[in-house]
Structure 1
Amino acid sequence: MLDLEGTIAAPKPAQIRAPKQLRSRRTLERIVAASLELLETEGLTGLTVHKVVAKAGSSVGSFYARFDGKEDLLDYLGERVWTEALERWEVALETRDWSTLSLDEVVEGSVGLLIDAQRSRSDYLKALDWASGRQNDAYERFRGELLLGLGRLLLGQRKSITHPDPELAVRIGLRAILGTVDAEIRATEDRLDRDSLAAEARTLLLGYLTGNASPAAQPIGVDFFDVWG
């Protein structure tokens, strides 16, 4: 039985006073967009209530009508970004005809998706991780569901997997790739660029599943899911 992440618990909901009126919901969306932009450009120290409301064209009162403070905002952002990514992934799994892809294509797409998800977490959301006591429930759930979904897609190509235990090979293979990607992204010297890392990781996973992979193979160009929509 494929079990990549064990039991995946639902994330704890962030504390927010949800707006009921359309105008208030639009204000919330502007606050969210402004906050993410500030995090990306200025980091955690640049995220202040006054900067957020100024960029959002809102008011301090509107901010505090929804959040108790910066910590509540960070909790909400961290949960929302990964919850929405998970929703898009679930839709992609349900609506696309994955049977048209070969094992090589699924491997390439899987590797690329794991890299992009980890890079997004490392770069785009690093300010959220640096905040003291930050909860990562939503990201952990996204990663768990992502691994399960990719595992099922790879096992859909079982006939092309020559490892004597395909389920074990998929489970260990994906975990190995995730660990490799995470370590490489965190490297401070001689870090591979995205395409080079994807090529090496593809060779590693495909070789483990089949015992045969060409390190010189050109990318097929598979891009079957965008973390950010």
Structure 2
Amino acid sequence: MSSASALPRPPRQRRSRESSERVIKAGLELLDELEYDSFTIAEVSRRAGVSVGSIYARFGSKDDLFLVLHDRAMDEIEREHRAAFDAIAWAELDDRESIRRAVRALTDVFHRHASMLRVFMLRGALDPQVLVRGSTAVREVQAAFAAGVLTHRVAMRHPEPELALDVFFRMAFAVLARRIVYGPLHESGRSLSWDDLADELAEVCAAYLLD
């Protein structure tokens, strides 16, 4: 498998750029529907309307194409999280509501991309490049989450708010990731919707930081 630094450069010609974008779009759609082992260059070719030979010539192997798709998806997920946190009127909300909005923003993006993230998480257990890129994205999200919530640090009773937020984020990420990989009933027979889970995680965070 090629290294992340060897990802293909964007083609210069407009038609080549357009065909590459069709391949990427089709590949991302497939990853949102299928497990990695069911993801094939032939099906990407069919959906994108680009020949198999052209895809191999441009992207190399299936694994190389997957790295391009993973990088693109992680960029988008990071953008969505940043936009969601930027949209929160932190100073206008009370302390608990700001935490609730932050946790909901975090959870909503995970929920929206759950199928694709499941593929990435399972693949990351076997592929160090996927693992490292995913970790980079998660750390960016953690930093944005913490920066927003810390606008209310004056109300926080925990002696080390940064540490508390770091620990809470680790807990929340673990809960969300396990739900994505194993489903909603893996640890407990109690069924919780994504909305209910977000609300309960927010209560945990508020109690930890404020009470």
- TM-score > 0.5, shorter chain as reference: yes
- Do the aligned residues in 2 keep the contact of 1:38 with 1:46 (CA within 8 Å)? no
The residue that corresponds to 1:99 in the other structure is 91
1:133 correspondence with 2:127: yes
- Code of the residue aligned with 2:127 in structure 1: it is G
Report which stretch shifted further, 126-135 or 104-113: 126-135
Q: Distance in 2 between matches of 1:119 and 1:36?
A: 16
Greater fraction of residues in helix: 2
Q: Structure 2 matches for 1:76-155, cutoff 5 A?
A: 76-90=68-82, 98-119=90-111, 122-131=114-123, 132-133=126-127, 135-155=130-150
Secondary structure of 1:164's counterpart equals: coil
Q: Give the structure-1-normalised TM-score.
A: 0.74
Alpha-carbon RMSD:
2.8
- Code of the residue aligned with 1:182 in structure 2: it is A
The residue that corresponds to 2:7 in the other structure is 15
Higher relative contact order (CA 8 A, sep 6+): 1
The residue that corresponds to 1:68 in the other structure is 60
- Code of the residue aligned with 1:209 in structure 2: it is L
The residue that corresponds to 2:207 in the other structure is 207
1:42 correspondence with 2:42: no
Q: Deviations over 1:60-113 (max 9, x none)?
A: 232123111101011111111112332454566678754333322321122223
Which of 25, 29, 32 matches 1:33? 25
- Code of the residue aligned with 2:201 in structure 1: it is A
The residue that corresponds to 1:192 in the other structure is 192
Shift of 1:179: 2.9
Report which stretch shifted further, 62-71 or 120-129: 120-129
Q: Which runs of 5+ in 2 are unaligned?
A: none
Q: Distance in 2 between matches of 1:113 and 1:94?
A: 10
Q: Distance in 2 between matches of 1:95 and 1:115?
A: 15
- Do the aligned residues in 1 keep the contact of 2:26 with 2:47 (CA within 8 Å)? yes
Q: Which runs of 5+ in 1 are unaligned?
A: 1-10, 212-229
Taking a change above 3 Å as real, the CA distance of residues 130 and 169 of structure 1, as seen in their structure-2 partners, is: closer
Question: Percent of aligned positions with the same letter in both sequences?
Answer: 29
- Do the aligned residues in 1 keep the contact of 2:110 with 2:176 (CA within 8 Å)? yes
Taking a change above 3 Å as real, the CA distance of residues 174 and 17 of structure 1, as seen in their structure-2 partners, is: closer
- Code of the residue aligned with 2:166 in structure 1: it is R
Q: Give the structure-2-normalised TM-score.
A: 0.80
Q: Distance in 2 between matches of 1:53 and 1:14?
A: 22
